[in-house]
Amino acid sequence: MRSVAPSRSIVEATQLPRLIRIGHNLHVAAFGLMKLLPARYMLDRAAERGELDWGTTVLETSSGTFGLGLAIVCRLRGNALTIVGDPAIDPGLRRRLNQLGTRVEICEDPSPEGGYQRARLDRLAELRDEHPDHYIPNQYGNPDNPAAYSVVAEQLCEAIGPIDCLVGAVGSGGSTIGTSSFLRLVSPDLHLVGVDTPGSIIFGQPDRPRILRGLGNSLVPGNVQHESYDEVHWVGPAEAFHATRRLYGRHCLFMGPTSGAAFLVASWWARCNPDAQVVALLPDEGYRYLDTVYDDEWLRAIDLLDAPLAPEPVEVAHPAQELGGWSRMDWNRRRLHDLIGARP
């Protein structure tokens, strides 16, 4: 139904994605800042359960957009927020967090096991003791994170109808697991494609430093239910960055590199399955990446400006094998240890 009422906040106004058809069987759900949705929903539910009051300090570890989403929601609610991040927090994001009244703590050194992620969680444990009245949203394990995506599934069902394939980058598991489980209620045969990056351990790669951020993880988040994924792709920085530029250059969609990775995989999948209706989740806009992904000099400096790009993914037999660039495997809704236990 058409509504002309003004929104009650910027969160309400912008939390849903814009749905755009960019191919005969390909739609994208382009978010301004996707993480607003789980941040808002997690805090609303916590308040309902009595775990979050006006005086409660919110604590979370994040180096990315979940921290920004929380900062906006906490500012509007009036809750204090401390974010524990690592040096990957870029100066622009840090300034935005500060201006929203968020305290930002940086862990300078990675933990020997579990990297920055572990170091951040250790610092979080200390902060918990310092703030007796605290709430930790815990986007990696909180079931309210995936549950927040019901509204996206509602919007997709109403606007597009049955969907055959959902493609999304995997970091916490919230958006892909949440959206797909809601869509499968009415589209039970939905094919879920998770997009990860080489060196992320979510789908079984050995942990190593990654250039492409915003997807992947050094820990396996509890919210990633591996048995929900039909197919997994690993997209490296070269393909992701160039796809991001193509998404802008061709479709005028100014999005971040995580969106580029999802767009790359979704376009390929839509080409291979011309009769299937495909939707890609694009989690954030391009402004944060103007000086990086959108800057030729920056790309040249890391040797990615003229890097050779794979036109299609390489099939891999095992998720732990050494990956060159863009790779894929049929995950077939298996659990992680079903695959990791079975090295070739």
Partner 1 sequence: MKVDQGHRLLEDLLPLPNTAGSRVNAHHGEILQGVFHDGERLRRGLVTLPCPLYNTRATFMPTGDDGVTVRPGWRTKATRAAELTLSALGWPVPGGLLILTSDIPLSRGFGSSTADVTAAIQAVVVATGRTLPPAAVAKIAVSAERASDSLVYGRRAVLFAHREGVVIEDLGQDLMPLEVLGFGTSSHGQGVNTLDLPPARYSSWEIEAFRPMLGMLRRAVRTRDAYLLGRVATASALLNQRHLRVPQLDDIIRVARASGAAGVEVAHSGDIAGLLFPASDPATADRVERAGERLRRLGITETWRFSTKG
Residues in contact with partner 1 by CB under 8 A are: 1, 45, 143-144, 147, 150-151, 153-159, 161-162, 182-183, 185-187
Smallest distance, partner 1 to C-beta of residue 171, A: 21
Kindly state the smallest distance separating residue 149's Cβ from partner 1, in Å: 8
**At its nearest, how many Å lie between partner 1 and the CB of residue 183?**
6
- Judged by beta carbon, residue 276 or residue 340, the one nearer partner 1 is 276
197: which residues sit within 8 A by CB, 6+ positions away? 210, 212, 215, 216, 234, 235, 236, 237, 240, 261
Instruction: Quote the CA–CA distance of 147 and 139 in Å, as a whole number.
Output: 11
Nearer to partner 1, 146 or 198 (CB): 146
329 in helix, strand or coil?
strand
Q: For residue 129, how many other CB atoms are within 10 A of its CB?
A: 8
Token look-up 């690592």 returns: 86
The answer to whether 128 and 59 have CB atoms below 8 angstroms apart is yes
Residue closer to partner 1 (CB basis): 121 or 157: 157
CB of 146 or CB of 221, closer to partner 1: 146
Strand stretches in 206-277, DSSP E: 231-234
CB atoms within 10 A of CB 65: 23
In the complex, minimum distance from the CB of residue 189 to partner 1, in angstroms, rounded to a whole number: 11
Nearer to partner 1 by C-beta: 187 or 200?
187
Give the nearer residue to partner 1 in terms of CB position, either 9 or 155.
155
**Burial class of 45 by CB neighbour count within 10 A (0 to 12, 13 to 18, 19+):** middle
What per-residue string of b and e applies to 282-295 under the rule 16 or more CB within 10 Å gives b? Answer: bbbbbebbeebbbe
Output the smallest distance, CB 185 to partner 1, in A. 4
Comparing CB distances to partner 1, the nearer of 43 and 183 is 183
Give dist(CA 341, CA 120) in Å, integer: 29
The CB-of-188 to partner 1 minimum distance in angstroms stands at 8
**116 phi and psi angles, rounded to 5 deg:** -60, -35
Instruction: Output 124 or 156, the one with its CB closest to partner 1.
Output: 156
Q: Which long-range contacts (CB under 8 A, 24 or more apart) does 266-271 make?
A: 266/26, 266/28, 266/165, 266/167, 266/193, 267/23, 267/26, 268/312, 268/313, 269/165, 269/167, 269/193, 270/23, 270/25, 270/26, 270/165
Considering the complex, what minimum distance in angstroms separates the CB of residue 332 from partner 1?
A: 21
CB of 156 to partner 1, least distance (A): 7
